[in-house]
Amino acid sequence: MKSGSIITALATLGVLGAFSIDTAQAAWVRLPNNEVRLINLASSQLPQTALESSSGINNAANLMHEDPTQVATLSAGSSSAVIRLSSQQYVDFVAINNGGVAGAATISGSPDKKEWITLGQVELDSTSANSTVRFAPLQVRYIRIQFEATKAGAINNVVVAGAAESAPADSGAEQASKSVNAASAIGGARAIYASPSPANLGQKAYDLNIVEFPATQQGAYNLVYDLGTSANVKDVALSYTRQPVNIKVYALDELAEKKDWRGKLTLEPAVLESAPVTATASDTKGLGRVKVNIPGDVSARYLAIRIQPVSGAASALDNAINNVAASFGFAGSKMVAANNGGFTISNVFVGSNMSSQQYNFAANNALGFGGGEGDTQDANPPAPDSLDQADTPVYFPPLLLGSYDYRITGGLGTGSGNNNNNNNTPQPSTIVRNNPVIIRVPTAPEVSPVTP
């Protein structure tokens, strides 16, 4: 029998998954450059971004905390939270990084908290690291999450994304006064090596620090970050597939990279084997989150993270299976789930410091506020209930979507954004339409466009 036929036969029998090529000793190939990345619009580090309201959630503000070990907790039953974004933003992606909640969640969006549009629903699996919702782009100011939990647990945090993206903030010469997540788009750290190669490489979730590793026999999952410049690292926090793990962190000033025969940069795994370990931590209970405190004042250009699942330890899924088995009279029997799903990191937090001025400058540019050097935000920000629109409204013909009529509202004004005078004086002969919003209306009366 030819080798191809053997492989086909094994696949048909369902045993091909038992065989894999051990790539532990193969050189890692540098990941594609992703200098500009999507930002998490629900991060409390962004200007004017905050928890608007909540019900039935303990420490609800932690839903917006970038450190996944700072969790919000839910009891069984109904609960909800409303997140206010910095301004009207286009969104098309929401991820709930789960820390043990079972049930479901409904995601809705609104420009003004008056009209809510359901964006999607998602099942929450207590054994899954995260649940994501994708939907058509919609411009909103508020995101509402309604939980129906059948099992109490923690939510590590929530990620909201759309069109807003950012390159790393300029490190500048100013004092590093703001505590930031260096692994965020604005923070500047970029993953340059991952082993095994992530299954979702190039997808939106990967851009937002959600890394889906395939199943592997090499015994560890590895990430190497380039911080962009030598930076102080205070701690590293991770959330991931709920199972016991050991974490090692390496702070490195340089990497011994080499070019392969194709001219691509590579890194030998032996580099980490011989490098001194900077800090360690263990998640012995399989909570799916852990923080690694970096001792002393450590500065490094590169940061490597190695996650080693504890061999033989029961995962959250194993425990769930055994609980079900016990309910059917199989108490005392040891049942272990097949590890066919790989390993997911649902969030990466690298605690560091950055110039507050430079961070806000980059954030404002990403969020569409613009502004010259040193700008941080509008001195008179809109009230939470107001729409970010120009003074002159313009109505466009109705859109027929399903059984409802929708109108696109917005504003017309003159100007070209920043004029480098920081006085908001518009430039002549330039027409811009600001912040269109899709709203549902009960009827569709005939109206004519308003001429500014």
- Going by the DSSP 8-state scheme, the letter that residue 321 receives in this structure is H
In the block, tokens 């029997």 appear at 333
Domain boundaries, the chain: 17-36+167-357, 40-163, 387-452
Domain 17-36+167-357: CATH superfamily, name plus number: Galactose-binding domain-like (2.60.120.260)
The pLDDT assigned to 311 comes to 76
Q: Is 30 helix (H, G, I), strand (E, B) or coil?
A: coil
Polymer length in residues for the chain? 452
Nearest to 70 by CA among 289, 301, 217, 273: 289
Residue type, 152: A
Q: Which two tokens stand for residue 343?
A: 């390993």
161 beta partners: 93
pLDDT one digit per residue (tens) for the chain, 452 residues: 444 443 443 344 343 333 333 444 689 999 988 889 999 999 999 999 999 999 999 999 999 999 999 999 999 999 999 999 999 999 999 999 999 999 999 999 999 999 999 999 999 999 999 999 999 999 999 999 999 999 999 999 999 999 999 988 887 656 767 889 999 999 989 999 999 999 999 999 999 999 999 988 888 999 999 998 888 999 999 999 999 999 999 999 999 999 999 999 999 998 898 899 999 999 999 999 999 999 887 999 999 999 999 976 554 544 554 454 445 444 443 333 333 468 999 999 999 988 888 888 889 988 887 643 333 333 333 343 333 333 323 333 333 333 333 333 333 333 333 333 333 333 332 222 233 333 343 333 444 444 44
- Same topology between domain 17-36+167-357 and domain 40-163: yes
Q: Please give the backbone phi and psi of residue 16, each rounded to the nearest 5 degrees, phi first.
A: -65, -30
The pLDDT assigned to 176 comes to 66
Whole-prediction pTM value? Answer: 0.72
* CA–CA dist 293, 91 (Å, integer): 34
Looking at domain 40-163, which CATH architecture does it have?
Sandwich (2.60)
Q: Please give the backbone phi and psi of residue 369, each rounded to the nearest 5 degrees, phi first.
A: -80, -25
In the block, tokens 């004004």 appear at 413
